[in-house]
Amino acid sequence: MGKKKKVVKKGKKAHKPSKSTKKSEFYKVQGETVLREKRTCPKCGPGIFMAEHSDRFHCGKCGYSQFKKSS
């Protein structure tokens, strides 16, 4: 039997910071009412917002897509 190679550890890997979303950007307060700035998903219900792309709206939770009308 031969000898096993020794594993050399070089150090810790760099920590990648996570992307955080500011929930306050999704809402707007007008008087005593709160308005939602982004479109909500019709399948998931209120509270789940859809991402806005150049040609469509997309829900990241259920995968529902709604295409924008091209004029």
Q: How far apart (Å, rounded) are the C-alpha atoms in residues 47 and 43?
A: 11
- What's the rounded Cα separation, in Å, for the pair 65 and 54? 12
Which residue in this structure is represented by tokens 């998931």? 44
The tens digit of pLDDT for each residue in 8-29 reads: 778 888 888 887 778 888 889 9
| pLDDT one-digit tens code per residue, 44-65 | 998 899 999 999 999 999 999 9
Per-residue tokens: 68? 């924008």
Q: Which amino acid is at 67?
A: F
* pLDDT given for residue 1 in this prediction: 65
